[in-house]
Amino acid sequence: MSGNNHSQGRTRNRWTFLAGVVVMSLLLSGCGTQKPKVYRVGVLALEPFAVIVDGFKAKMTELGYMESKNIVYDVQKVSADKAEMQKVLDKFVADKVDLIFTFPTEPALLAKAKTQGTNIPVLFAMGTIAGNDLVKSVRQPGGNITGVRFIGLDLYVKYLEMLRELAPNAKRIGLFYDPTYPAIASTLEALHAAAPSAGVTLVEVHIARVADLEADLQARAKLSDVGFDAMIIMPDLISSSPDGLAALGKFGAEHKLPVVGGIARNEWSVLTLIPDDIETGEQAAPLADKIFKGTPAGEVPVVSPEPKLRINYKLAQELGLTVPKGLLKQAVEIIR
């Protein structure tokens, strides 16, 4: 009798073991079919800098984020209209995206404000961090934000120095800008500090839209002296826009005035000293990766990109300028 009980016990234990194996197999099978996390990224891209998105997406792919598999991008390309930016950001917040990627300075500041009180991190590119509260510091941005900064102050002082080398007779430098744009105050401060030692006078013109810029240039074109000898493209969304840049560039070409600055590889500037847009996007991607892997955005240090000198040698010749050999040696790209 006891032997029979012992046999029945072993049978029960065997079935218990088999049942456990089946349950474990089902659990493991369920884990194997579990869908991976799909990250949703809202991208607010201003038109002149939209190519930054291409660099960002390409690098994210290298880091293992495959579009439509484990990451989805909602790319919204907009003009410099503030209301349009606000509308896009409202949509991203309502959609509860996992990250907002935006550029340059103004939309980054708007995104930071819009996401207060949410868990949505903000990643910026080409953001000016001087003279505003975009971040607390480069090493500790704070809050829910980090990114790739725009190194504008040193850059614009260099523009003055390079202009003096390129066009020694250019004593009056025209600056057209929107005084309300976040990056302008700190840029002007740097230019005003550097102008006396550079031996130049800054001729400042306030604009609020491209039409203001065009109207001022049309009025100057009727004068025997247009009022300046060269121009620097300022870091606002009017002068740097395609229409604004074209207006300044055409005016410079017609009056034999060198124009420097603006977005990389534009056809109107004799030289630009600015990080490559594609590379800027690529530099933003590892920051997004860190955020997705659990590091708070405000603890991810801001990246400082390396500016690159590009010289339009062909345009310089058309303007009757001699490009010093020292500048040519510094250039990473020379358009002939």
In tens, the pLDDT along 71-93 reads: 999 999 998 788 999 999 999 99
Whole-model pTM?
0.80
Fold of 152-274+308-335: Rossmann fold (3.40.50)
Predicted local distance difference test score (pLDDT) of residue 287: 98
pLDDT band with cut points at 50, 70 and 90 for residue 175: very high
The number of C-alpha atoms within 13 Å of 306 and in the hemisphere containing its C-beta is: 5
Evaluate if residue 6 carries a pLDDT over 70: no
Q: What CATH code is assigned to 39-151+275-299? A: 3.40.50.2300
Predicted local distance difference test score (pLDDT) of residue 22: 46
Predicted local distance difference test score (pLDDT) of residue 33: 54
Evaluate if residue 144 carries a pLDDT over 90: yes
pLDDT band with cut points at 50, 70 and 90 for residue 334: very high
pLDDT band with cut points at 50, 70 and 90 for residue 21: very low
* Boundaries of every domain in the chain: 39-151+275-299, 152-274+308-335
Evaluate if residue 63 carries a pLDDT over 80: yes
In tens, the pLDDT along 234-251 reads: 989 899 888 999 999 999
Write out the DSSP string of 147-210: EEE--HHHHHHHHHHHHHHH-TT--EEEEEE-TTSTTHHHHHHHHHHHHHHHT-EEEEEE-SSH
Domain 39-151+275-299 matches domain 152-274+308-335 at the CATH topology level: yes
- Dihedral sign for Cα atoms in the order 80, 81, 82, 86: negative
Of 7-21, 72-86, 299-313, give the lowest mean pLDDT range. Answer: 7-21
Q: What average pLDDT does the segment 201-215 reach?
A: 97
Q: What average pLDDT does the segment 128-137 reach?
A: 90
